[in-house]
Each structure stands twice: as structure tokens, then as C-alpha cells.
Amino acid sequence: MFVKTVLGSSAARAGRLHLAAQLRCFSHLPLTVPIKLPNGLEYEQPTGLFINNKFVASKQKKTFEVISPSTEEEICHVYEGREDDVDEAVEAAQAAFSNGSWATIDPLQRGIALNKLADYIEHDKEIIASIETLDNGKAINSSRGDVQLVINYLRAAAGYADKLDGRLIDTGTTHFTYTKRQPLGVCGQIIPWNFPLLMWAWKIAPALVTGNTVVLKTAESTPLSALYVSQFIPKAGIPPGVVNIVSGFGKIVGEAICTHPKVKKIAFTGSTATGKHIYQSAAGSLKKATLELGGKSPNIVFEDADIKKAVQNIILGIYYNSGEVCCAGSRVYVQESIYDKLIEEFKVESEAVKVGDPFDETTFQGAQTSQMQLSKILSYVEVGKKEGATLISGGERLGTKGYFIRPTIFGDVSEDMRIVKEEIFGPVVTITKFKTTEEVIELANDSEYGLAAGIHTSNFTTALTVANKVNAGTVWINTYNDFHHSTPFGGFNASGIGREMGSETLENYTQVKAVRAKLI
């Protein structure tokens, strides 16, 4: 039914686009298609929108193609949602909220349902990890880590179900006064392409455990894993309309969700520029909004650090997930006495990083998720060269098929360079010398962002001093990209508003009601 084509030449590209134009109006796309994964696993991929616990065709019957970043081959098509599909999904979510089938049940039942959802995902975790690798291009071991964190987080969120307590307020003997937390209603959620399934879980879990309903837009380049796991929603005992997934494009589906009058809250993960637009759209109707946005995170190495361990943490901080991580440690600051030694060690280890087939068990860095992202990263490499930075290693596309790039290190940078200031969102790191603790704190904070930071030292006093003074939502000490399902994640400044994970995220999905009764 679907013709597989390979990019590489302009003629092939033109042919694929022509085929895509034809298939966009294909009105008989089945709601599931069989897919055989590169590792030999086979499964049925849902292609429809997920509304009212059913996969359905979009109203206009349009579709869009999904491309494998590691092969540049078409995987399949999925249905493309439009404004009228968003309307239908919001109506389903509003009906589910209003009828009380989810919001007013015993909170324990919501927790049980989330645990069942985690059970289904755990049962299919190898298939799901493989879908993520096929669709996103990340290394299979990274995908497995994502899926495990999804499972852990769903279970952790389930544990919060019966802990949404209000408080009794002593206002004397004439009145009975208390507060309670209530869900907001329909929550609009927009997730990115770098961690498709993980962001799906980070968004829906706190919304559901607090009694809300959801209309979620996947990233157009990576819709497959969220659609696959959505088939488990009804099996887990979650009523129709509570979770709705509309695949589509940001300017259409995303905008429709943000401006819909019945959507009471927007949660977005993505670029700072898009986040600002969404925040303005949400403000127009006074929607509650949480935004997890970009970053340019400092990773600081003091002279008393274990250099070999620090280098491995730098590699994890910048090359993990192909560098497509909002909190990537993309600005490395090294105390001058160990600068040369660390550069030497880091260059050797960086060039030893296995880049390539993401289904190869030994691969650490898979493909970039799209041709657009690859081109952006390569353009920044050229910017760095023109700005006068020294290209120490990498900076080149790897091969001619698939969106691969060599791990890239720039030295001899100044703080006003674009490669130091701007988020590249790829496996590109800059390295800068510093002398004193005071100096490196100033350098670390010289950014519009504030998502994360890393500190490497054997002196715990130094670590805590710097951690307390760096403007970052998450600080890792002698580790990096070290997530835990109970630890809140979010940013300062241009890196966003609100938190994901942890009990803190529950505040994003509830509102406080005060009740004061005069005693007769």
C-alpha cells in the first residue's frame, strides 16, 4: 500500500514529495497498518486520531507521512487532524469531564488505572522502545531508558491520586473553613519530537491523576509511539473522552488547542520562541499555562574533579539522545589548571562515541530526528568557524543516508559567540576556561536560559555553593541527565514556567477552592 523511497538525491526527494502530495488526500487509509521493525519485531501501528477511546479517521481524511531518520525511508502515513477534529476531541473531553466519570470518582480508582496503563506498557516495552527508535532515530538503549522512565513515572503519579488534600483552617468557633483542590477541566497538551513517549507520559499522568481530561497533540515528525500506547487507555479502565490524541501540525492543531474556549489549561514542551507564542495565545483567554522550553546549560568541571568520570558525564550531557535534549550540557566550563588535560581526554572519548544504526546495541548516538534539524546543526558548525572558534573534533555529517552527524567540540570560544549563546539542539559543545568559583558562576548565569546545570568536583562544599547560586531548575552534581520519576524538572527564566514530574506538577493541574460556612 505504501511505497518506500529513499532520500539522497534531489530527484528522489521530489518524487517522495509528489507521492506525499498524492497520499495526503488518500481517503482509504486503514486505522492500523502492519509494520516490521528493523530488529525483526512486528506489530500493528494505529494511524487514526484517538478520540473517545477509539481510533478514527480525520474528518477531512488527509494524511501525512512519517519518515525514519536513520534510513530516510517512509514508515507509514497517519491521519492529519485539523480544527474540526480538535473541536470533536475537545467536546469529547468536556463531556467526559462534565459527566463525572473520571473527575468525581474515588481518586484511588484513578491511581489504579494509571498503574494498569503502566502494566500494559511494561508488557510491550521492547516493541514500544523499538517504535521510538524507528520514529525518532535515537539509539535503542536510550529508547529503552525512556520507556522505563515512562513506566516508573506513571506508577509514581498513580501514588499521588489520594494525596490531593486540602486543609482545615482554624478561623474560630463561628465558622467552619476548609480548602480543597479541584481539577481544571479540559487540558490542552503539546509535546515535542525529541522524547515523544516520555513527554506523553509527563503530560497526561499529572492531568489524569488530578481528575482532568486531555486533548494532546503529538509532534508531526514522531506521532507513532503515543498512538500505539493510546490503545491501552480503554484497557486500563480510563473512560471515553478522558484522553484524546490529535496528530497534526502546530500551526493548525496546536493553535486550535491553544485558542479553544473550552480548554482551561495549556501544557507545552518545545522551543522558547514557540513557547512565547503559546503563552500569548493562552493569555488571550486567561488559560493556565505551563511551559518547558529551551536551554543552554552549563556543565562545570573543577580542578579537583575525577577527569575520566567528568568526561563521561560531559559525553552523557551532550551526546545523549543525539544532543536533542533541552537540558543538554552544551556549555562546558573547565578550570584552567586541568583544561588541556581534559580537552585531550574528551577529544579521544568523543571520537570513540559510536554513531550510526540506532538498532545496533553498541550505538550511543543515533540519528538526528529530521533533515531540518541536521541542517540547522551543520549551519551552526559553520557559524562557529566563522566566529573564530576552534573546531577540535567532529562537525561533519556522517554518511549519505540517514541524518547522522559526528560529535562536535568547539574550543577557544568567547561568551558573545552565537554557538555559546544560542540553543543548537544537537551534539555540539563549547569548552571555556575559568579561574575562580566566582567567575564560573557569573559565566554560568550569563544566559537567557536556566534549565539545568552540571557540577563536577570532589569538594561537596564547592558543589553546594555553586548549586545554590546557579540559575537553573535542575542541578546535577558529579552526574548529568540523571532523571528520576519523583524529582521535579523545569526551568528558570526563558527555560519555562512550571514543573514536570514530582508532586510539584500537581499544582499545575488543580485549583484551590476555599469553603467557609457560618455555624448556626
Q: Among all residues, which ones are annotated catalytic?
A: 292
Q: How far apart are CA 95 and CA 116, in angstroms?
A: 24
**CA nearest 318: which of 376, 439, 405?**
405
Q: What cell numbers appear for 219 in the block?
A: 509532534
Number of other CB atoms surrounding residue 520 within 10 Å: 4
Detail the DSSP E strand segments found in 162-220.
168-169, 175-183, 186-190, 213-217
Q: How far apart are CA 138 and CA 5, in angstroms?
A: 21
Three-point CA angle 39, 40, 41, nearest 5°: 100
**CA nearest 370: which of 415, 317, 425?**
425
Q: How far apart are CA 447 and CA 91, in angstroms?
A: 42
- In the chain, count of helices (H) and strands (E)? 16, 22
Cα of 401 vs its chain's centroid, Å: 26
Q: How far apart are CA 207 and CA 262, in angstroms?
A: 16
Q: What cell numbers appear for 371 in the block?
A: 533533515
